Structure 1
Amino acid sequence: MQRREVLINARKWLLLGCELGQRGEDLMRIKPSDFRKIDVDQVVDVFQQKGKKHVTIPITKRAKKVLDTGFPQKISLQNLNDYIKEVAKAAKLYEIIEGKKYDAESKRKAFGKYPKHELITSHVCRRSFATNYYKKIPTTVIMGITGHIKESTFLQYINKPKDRDENAKLFLKYFSENGN
């Protein structure tokens, strides 16, 4: 594969990952045979290694758009992490943020301020999924997909306080949509 194709492939994994909400290791194990139809919709079945759980994730319009261009080619998680840094740099993610980055000299991660593209890893997929769908989908549904067990842990993960009013509004939204 040429460099451009490698980066396009990594971009596909990144976009797909942000719609599936899985850890990098689990994302990289997904294969075309894991997809199936239920009624008119498509889902993907994933086994989450860390939590030892099977989850079924609906394929969103954005995920379908990525898959319509062909399923991404298998690559290692380390290569994905390296390539998406290049994808993020090409997307001009230069904002300086705090984070940890591997330091080859000390052979450890060093906390500091770095350009965002240097810090991005496959973990951005799971966190972006959780953050992007929070308050749009019931929290328990998101947690079921990401593998979080406790709501307090999930909210801490996405850096959000518990919002009881928002839960009440979400309840009323579903309640009114069903004609009650």
Structure 2
Amino acid sequence: MKVLEPRAYHKMPKEVLRGEKVKSYKKCLKQIKGIYKYGNESNLDPNTVVYEVYSYTEGEKEKEGNLFWGLTVMKPVYINGECNMTRGHFHEDTNCAEFYFGLQGEGLLLLMNKKGKTWAEKIYKGSIHHIDGEIAHRIVNTCDEELMVGACWPTTAGHNYKEIEDRDFNYRVFKNDSEVEFLKR
């Protein structure tokens, strides 16, 4: 699988979003059943937090042109050798692009077009990633520390998780010793 360097770079602080209007949630292993190749069967407690998401916006969410500012914090856990990852999604409104930016740790931004072609970009502190509105995306933590990835996207983009549930990404990411390995589906 082809892995590209990010096209831009910017250093930023590494803290979670804070503020009165910041919304957040945590995903536990038991809440994301089935996204790992070999299931969620592992030595981990099903209540283990695998990632946290923070978001902030002002104004009306339905108003075209308004933006979310967000952060995903990926925990350094492995499920039967598979690297921790988000559920992944397409946008409901495919005209809405998104930016991701690396704040801490190392990982991959797994990308897939509607035809199933899959590739990845390296995420690391300062990396910047443009995601076209027609491209599915998933964050994968490949390091042994928290991976923090910031984001900015239109409030009208929406999330289409169902399409990924029906037809997952074509590659899985595993870590054996210190080597990252890709397993084609």
Shorter chain as denominator, the TM-score bin is under 0.3
TM-score normalised to structure 1 length: 0.22
Which one has a larger percent helix, Structure 1 or Structure 2?
Answer: 1
TM-score normalised to structure 2 length: 0.22
In our comparison, the structure showing a higher alpha carbon Rg is: 1
